[in-house]
Structure formats: structure tokens, C-alpha cells
Structure 1
Amino acid sequence: MYQAGQIREALLEVRETTADPVLDVAVDLLKKTGDSLTCYRRTGFSDAQTTAKEMCEEMNVESVLKQKRLRSTKRQFGYESPDEPIDDALKKMEITFFNVVVDTALSSLDERFQHLEEVNDKFGVLINFPTTSNEELPKHCQTLSSALTHDGQPDIDGRELAAEMQNVPHLPSKKMTNMELLTFLHEKKLTEMYPNLWVALRISATLPVTVAAAERSFSKLKLVKTYMRASMGQERLSGLSIISINHVVSKQLSYDDVIDHFASRKARRVRLRSTRGCSHVLLLSAHQNESSRSGNRSSGPGDGANN
């Protein structure tokens, strides 16, 4: 679309404006961004087309967008008739590409920042109270008080907040942000005279602007276990896990002694003691035991009858 330069300038402007963003400023920028995208959807394609033609003339490139051959698909009787094909290549690009991209951006903007706008509506009375009527002001203040209640304990009193807003001294501007109003009360030493307004403004100024969500968490140890279970048993895997966890202790061990101890535990001999106190050493051969067991299994009832 050859709009990279304009997009970059817009992003730089937003970054400079929101160097230290607060909730009300961020929501106002979001509304302006949505309006800008809506306007861009109506006129953006024609503007981009004009820019593309100028670039093609400078680069001596053909600016005609060729239309692909329309495919005809065979349909059975009773099927719904297909949509009328678009013969113009530019019109098809506008409908199938440009409008889809802009509509996706608009829907994503509304979906991701919907909760942020709901929070801003509750705190909007802190900005609009100079122009709000005396009949509507207590209702909005009570709504804010209910939102700032935890375990039955409200952080502010709605009726007192409405009374404080009605008695606020003359402000430098009727359209001040929460941070500007908070700074005004601090500089004029009015924090003790308007405690509920002071608390509400402090909460509003510290609300997070971002709506980023955490990615799906995973355990590296679980991935290692899943990978190694295919080639080893649970007992060996648990032993390796213990060695890895206690790596400081394992590095201080003598591997020769560990190997000798392991070899002695795995030796095919058992020491037996008789009741008379005489010790005998009985060597058991695993091969002989296995061969005798396999012989017993192979001999069935038919073999015993023949013998």
C-alpha cells in the first residue's frame, strides 16, 4: 500500500503523546484512531492507488493490474447460485484485501479495548464533572463509589465526592485530564479539603493502560520429562531429577565410590546365615535360574503324561 512513511510518522506521534500515558488520554487516542481508520476505509484505497501510480511512473513500471482468468466451477442442480464475479482487478483487490484488512483492524481495536472503555466510563465523572448537571452528578459519583468497593468497604463516599465536585474552585480549563487535575490540587494544597476527589484521582492516574494478556505458561521440566519418558523408566527419571536438583551435592561425591557401591549392589550373590550361626556363601547364577524357569514353563501337561 506504500503507506509505510505515514504509518511511521503516526506511530512516532502517538509515542511522543503517550510517553507517560494515563487512562483518559489513552481512551481519547483510541477513539481518534478508530475514527481515523473509519475515514481511511472510505478514502484510503483511492489515495493509495494514486500514490502507487505516481511511484510506477517514477520507476517506469507498468501500473495496470491484470485481471486473472475467471474459473468456472460445476455445480449440481439445487445448489445456491454463486456470487457474481468481479471483473475489475482493482475493485476485487479493494473488496477482498483492503476492506478486509481495515475491518479486521477496526474489530480488533473495539474488541481488545472494550474493557478499557468500560473502566473509563466509570471514571469519566472525574473529567466531565464541570459540565455535568447537579442532578446527574450524584448518580455518577455513586456508580464510581460502587466500583471502588472491596469486601464491603468503599474507598470513597459517593455523596461526599459529589459535594466536593460541586465546590471545587475555579479550574484553569474545563477540559483537564485526571493527571492535570491531580497536579492542580497538589499545587494548590487542596488535598485535605477534597479527600474523596484526591483518592479517586490517584486511583484513576495509576490504572494500567495496556491490555496485553499473558501467553500460555509451560514448564521446562515437564517438557524434559515428556521427552525422556520414551527411553527410560520413571524410577531412573526421578533419580536423574534428584541429581539435577541437588547438583551442588552431586559434584562433591566421589564417582569411583558410587560406581563400586553400585556394582556391589548389583552382584549376583547373596550371603545367608544358618540358625546354628555358621555362615555360608551361596552363589546364585541368574543364567541358571532363568534357564530352569524357562524349562519349567516350556514343559506342559502333555510332556508329563508322555514321561
Structure 2
Amino acid sequence: MNVDTVLKQKRLRTKKCHFSCECADEPVSDALKRMETTFFNVVVDTAISSLNERFKTLGKVNEKFKVLLGFTDMSDKDIVDHCQTLSNTLTHDGHSDIDGRELAMELQSVPDLPSKRITTMDFLTFLHEKKRTEVFPNLWVALRICATLPVTVSAAERSFSKLKLIKIYLRSTMAQERLRGLAIISVNHAVSRELSYDDVIDEFASRKSRRVKL
């Protein structure tokens, strides 16, 4: 990058210290050592503390939702206890999103999964492809909540950064409905590639076509 690796030495500034004040730390004369203590160590400490806090929070979430993916290795009593805990977690103002007992019964009657190490999205896709969403309503709701919880991961942040690529200067007068549609297409680009452009064009033309009265 054509950047000089040698740091310039700066003159150390001295501050007048009164008798009642505490003694100041010994100044660092080496520029590289000063950069290490004032910049590098600060960045590393901040990154480590942020990662520890995030993993601690995700660990608590994983402890409450682990029954959805680890029920195959649990006993029936453990499944009931974890499902009841998850039901209490998803309760607000006396209304719960799921029923703990029904969720336990659904997990005990789930068909054989394609793999033991299955992710939440794979589990949702499996239920959708097998058309079992109405058979396992509590499991379907719990899996969708679990899949949408980690909103602070980089995937969600990259999806939100799509806004500056869509809402450009030439599209400043774009309406909210069109902006939402373009954002969904941009975020779910893997699904949008499988769409048929001819069918989309025909549907758009049928909606915009003007009927002329003869």
C-alpha cells in the first residue's frame, strides 16, 4: 500500500503536576510501543469483550431453544420439561405463542429427519416440503421464532446494507411497495434466480394493460 512502516517519533509533552495530584504514568518514548498500548490493545480488548457478551447471550438462547434440534437425544421427560420452559419464555401478558405440552407431543411424533445434525432452516424446509406445517403447528411457530432471533449476525446486517444499493439517486421517488419488493428480491437472490422472467412479465403486463371499450 506504499505506506512507510516506520512510525515517526514525536516530542513528549510534559504537564505541570501539582503537589496534591497523583503522579503521572511514565511516558512511552517508543512510537511503536505507544501505538500498541493506546490503539492495538484497546481494539483487541473491545473486540474480545463484545464477542464474549454476544456468545454469552447466544448461549442463553441456545439453552432455551436446544430442544427443537436436540430432542432426538433427550428422554420424554426432558423433552416435556424443555418444551414447558420454552413455552414460558415465549409468553407475554398471559398469552403464549406455543403450547408446551402439544409441542412435546409433536416432537415425539416427528418423522425421521434426513440428518441428525440438521439446522433450523433445514428443519423448516423439511416440514414445508413434506407439507407437515399444519400437522405440527407449535413446532412450526417455534422454529420460525428460533430462525429469526439472531438478528445481529452479519447476514442480517448485510441484508440491511442493501438499502443503499437499491435506493439510489435515480430512484429517489420510489414508493414504499416497490422498495420493499426490490429489497426482498435482493436479499433472497437465491430464490429470485429461480423465477421465470416470462411469467413475471406476463403478469405485470396483464395488470397494467388498459382495456379499450369498442
TM range (shorter): 0.5 to 0.7
Report the Cα distance in structure 2 between the residues aligned to 1:132 and 1:162, rounded to whole angstroms. Answer: 11
Say if 1:77 and 1:203 are closer, same or farther in 2 by CA, change over 3 A. closer
1:129 counterpart = 2:71: yes
Q: Which one of 4, 7, 16 corresponds to residue 74 of structure 1?
A: 16
Equivalent residue, structure 1, for 2:98: 156
Alignment CA distance shift 1:69-1:142 (3 Å):
same
Q: Give yes or no for the alignment of 1:184 onto 2:184.
A: no
Q: CA deviation at 1:169?
A: 2.6
Aligned to 1:147, which of 86, 89, 93?
89
* Cα separation, 2, equivalents of 1:111 and 1:171: 33
Which deviations, in whole Å up to 9, do the C-alpha atoms of 1:36-95 show, x marking residues without a partner? xxxxxxxxxxxxxxxxxxx5xxx5x75322332323333223432222322321121011
Q: Distance in 2 between matches of 1:115 and 1:62?
A: 42
1:127 alignment partner AA: L
Deviation at 1:113, TM superposition (A): 9.1
1:116 Cα deviation after fit: 7.0
Aligned to 2:167: none
In structure 2, what is the equivalent of residue 175 of structure 1?
117
Distance apart, 1:184 and its partner CA: 0.8
* Higher gyration radius (CA): 1
> Residue in 1 aligned with 2:43?
101
Q: Check 1:131–1:99 CA distance in 2 against 1; reply closer, same or farther (3 A cut).
A: farther
**Cα deviations by residue, 1:84-112 (Å, 9 ceiling, x for unpaired):** 32232112101111222343445556678
1:170–1:106 Cα change, 3 Å: same
Give secondary structure in 1 for the equivalent of 2:81. Answer: helix
**Cα drift, residue 144 of structure 1:** 1.4
Instruction: Choose from 59, 63, 88 the match for 2:30.
Output: 88
| Distance in structure 1 (CA, Å) of the matches to 2:7 and 2:92 | 62
Aligned equivalents of 1:137, 1:68: Cα separation in 2: 65
Q: Distance in 1 between matches of 2:146 and 2:5?
A: 53
- Number of residues paired by the alignment? 154
Counterpart of 1:269 in structure 2 is none
Aligned-residue offset at 1:121: 4.7
SS in structure 2 opposite 1:67? coil
Question: Matches of 2:66 and 2:13 in 1, distance apart?
Answer: 55
RMSD: 3.5
CA 1:166/1:102 → structure 2, altered by over 3 Å: closer, same or farther? same
Question: Partner amino acid for 2:25?
Answer: D
Partner SS for 1:77: coil
Shift of 1:187: 2.0
Distance in 2, Cα, partners of 1:86 & 1:65: 14
CA 93–186 in structure 1, closer or farther in 2 if over 3 Å, else same: same
| Deviation at residue 120 of structure 1 after TM alignment | 5.5
**Cα distance in structure 1, aligned partners of 2:21 and 2:78:** 58
Distance verdict in 2 for CA 1:132–1:85, change over 3 Å: farther
1:288-307 → structure 2 map (5 Å cutoff)? none
Q: Percent identity?
A: 66
Structure 2 residue aligned with 1:270: none
In structure 2, the CA distance between the partners of 1:208 and 1:92, relative to structure 1 (3 Å rule), is closer
TM-score, normalization: structure 1? 0.41
Q: Deviations over 1:109-136 (max 9, x none)?
A: 6678987775555334323333445454
